[in-house]
Chain A
Amino acid sequence: GAVVSQHPSWVICKSGTSVKIECRSLDFQATTMFWYRQFPKQSLMLMATSNEGSKATYEQGVEKDKFLINHASLTLSTLTVTSAHPEDSSFYICSARDRAGTSTDTQYFGPGTRLTVL
């Protein structure tokens, strides 16, 4: 149980285009999802916290107009990188908290999406 999927697993796009990444909780409902960014050989950097039915909360320094997050249902959150540029190339990872879980802190991570902007 507690499987989180991401789609696509990798994407290559031209500079200036927008890219949408989906994060789905497959076998549980997630009221809260998180989006992280990870550069090579570095730790995970939290970008934003996404709550179902409400606006996402962005971490300091993360441009909310550039990284659009939508959490329209209890099993799906999307991250759209708008007008992507080469510096946006990174590994994007989502995680989800099981709504029914007894632990308030257990996050289940997706497999990540590798974005390369040419």
Chain B
Amino acid sequence: QQQVKQSPQSLIVQKGGISIINCAYENTAFDYFPWYQQFPGKGPALLIAIRPDVSEKKEGRFTISFNKSAKQFSLHIMDSQPGDSATYFCAASKDTGFQKLVFGTGTRLLVSP
């Protein structure tokens, strides 16, 4: 119940295309869903996060779509650029006090020029 399932494992998108990464969770107590971007040899950086009171959040080219009933959320990267090539992790946690993050397995995104 603590798992967060992430797909696909890897993704190749042409420059200018839309990258879509999906995550699913089981624990209905989760109510904070961040996405992290990680470049090789670096620590993860918070990209965007959403709480279940909204179904979508957009920041620049990055959008999170959230489906509470399906217990799924996804990251959309619009107009994908080669500089977006990185590994993306979804995560989830409870917001009661401070709870640890549960990470997805990661998606390696390659944006071809």
- Name A's B-contacting residues (CB within 8 A): 4, 6, 32, 34, 41-44, 46, 49, 91, 93, 95, 97, 103-112, 114
- Name B's A-contacting residues (CB within 8 A): 32, 34, 36, 41-46, 49, 89, 93, 95, 97-101, 103-106, 108
Task: Write the chain A residue with the least CB distance to B92.
Answer: A105
Please pick, from A6, A105, A114, the residue contacting B93 in the complex, using a CB distance under 8 A. Answer: A105
Number of A-B contacts defined by CB within 8 Å = 55
Contacts of B95 in A (CB 8 A): 104-105
Please pick, from B42, B46, B97, the residue contacting A104 in the complex, using a CB distance under 8 A. Answer: B97
CA distance A104 to B96 in the complex (A): 8
A108 B46 Cβ-Cβ under 8 A: yes
Taking A106-B46, A108-B46, A110-B43 as contacts, is the C-beta distance between A44 and B98 under 8 angstroms? no
CA distance A103 to B98 in the complex (A): 9
